[in-house]
Amino acid sequence: MSTALTSAPAPTATRQDKLRVMVVDDSVVIRGMISRWIGAEPDMEVVASLRTGLDAVNQLERINPDVAVLDIEMPELDGISALPKLLAKKRDLIIIMASTLTRRNAEISFKALSLGASDYIPKPESTREASAAETFRHDLIQKIRHLGAKIRRSAHAHAPASPPLAPAHHDKPRETAARAPLASPAPAAHPAPTRRPFSMLAPRVLLIGSSTGGPQALMSLVTEIGPVIDRFPVLITQHMPPTFTTILAEHLARSSRRPAHEAVDGEIVKAGQIYLAPGGRHMRVVRHGADAAIALDDGPPVNFCKPAVDPLFTSAIDVWQGGIMSVILTGMGSDGMRGGKDIVAAGGSVIAQDEATSVVWGMPGAAANAGICAAILPLNQIAPKLVRLFSGDRS
């Protein structure tokens, strides 16, 4: 996955407000590099830099981090073994799995997501390559920040309205002292996003875009939309690197019990199939006589992502015009919003996942706040709605 290398300035924070990050990796070079990056951010700090998963489990309660960056391959106790032990001690710990791009590590990363990891990040094979290291740095920092935002919101929601003053305990080490509630301001009240009616045109294709939290959401969704897949093509863009998309396609096939694969350039799009954009390439669709065909390209990132959702959404209009049903699931950024606008302008419809069930309400939130959605639904309500819409319901 390649994401934005430029972004909004990081929020400033007092020391008590900062996200507390624990870095766990057996490579002293990687630990040092990640620690320097995090230390340079005004809203986060490294509270521990550890060599093994066993160190992390043993020291978790003393350190009390908000976020853990957890390597997969480590001595004594590897990341996948440490993961459930860490969550058993701290249920709301945000864990980001870090691994190199191998098939084995991709499989382990997917298993980690099913065991409660919040996200994963692929480590570059060589941090000496400036562009690879910079992409890794940016992606990691953004994941920590956006996933950690839930910690801030939760702390504010559970903090007392007028906390009583308590005497300072200067004799306690900072790690063992009770952590003060994070002092983020309450989210401003926003008016409900504008909804528009569903298209009166019968949908002929289902397009889905997703990012952070997307693999779990996708597998849940495809399990319940068998009647749609059987009669219509389903095309998915998930922000994900090569190898990981190969594994995701296999998981989607098992979850849906329908054919699912990474899309191949030039293949004809058919009902009964799930097509997944391969990592590192944009997936578009083009006319091929009376049919639609896949068109992959190795062009520059769009919305700083590759693959990106917008190229799929926008290209589909030339093929299916207003007969497009699109869904934007959990993810950072705003990818899919512009393509969604184009789909709506052409007569199609957009459904967004709601904030409560999204790991990160970036992409669906951008679509919702742009006023282009016909529905904003919890994840478990999206599949039933799609089945009804593709069966003829227009409301």
CA–CA gap between residue 287 and residue 54 (Å, rounded): 55
In sequence order, which ranges of 265-358 are alpha helices (DSSP H)? Answer: 309-320, 337-345
Q: What is the DSSP letter of 198?
A: P
Beta bridge partners of 95: 68
**Radius of gyration (C-alpha) of the chain in whole angstroms:** 22
Is 335 part of the annotated catalytic residue set?
yes
Give every CB contact of residue 240 below 8 A, 6+ residues apart in sequence: 1, 214, 215, 248, 279, 307
Catalytic one of 2, 49, 109, 211 = 211
Backbone phi and psi for residue 289, each to the nearest 5 degrees, phi listed first: 65, -125
CA–CA gap between residue 344 and residue 270 (Å, rounded): 23
Tokens of 202: 């019968």
Cα–Cα–Cα angle for 224, 319, 323, nearest 5°?
50
Catalytic one of 138, 239, 251, 282 = 239
Cβ(103)–Cβ(279) under 8 Å?
no
Is 255 part of the annotated catalytic residue set?
no
Is 211 part of the annotated catalytic residue set?
yes
Catalytic one of 43, 335, 342, 354 = 335
* Residues with a known catalytic role: 211, 239, 335
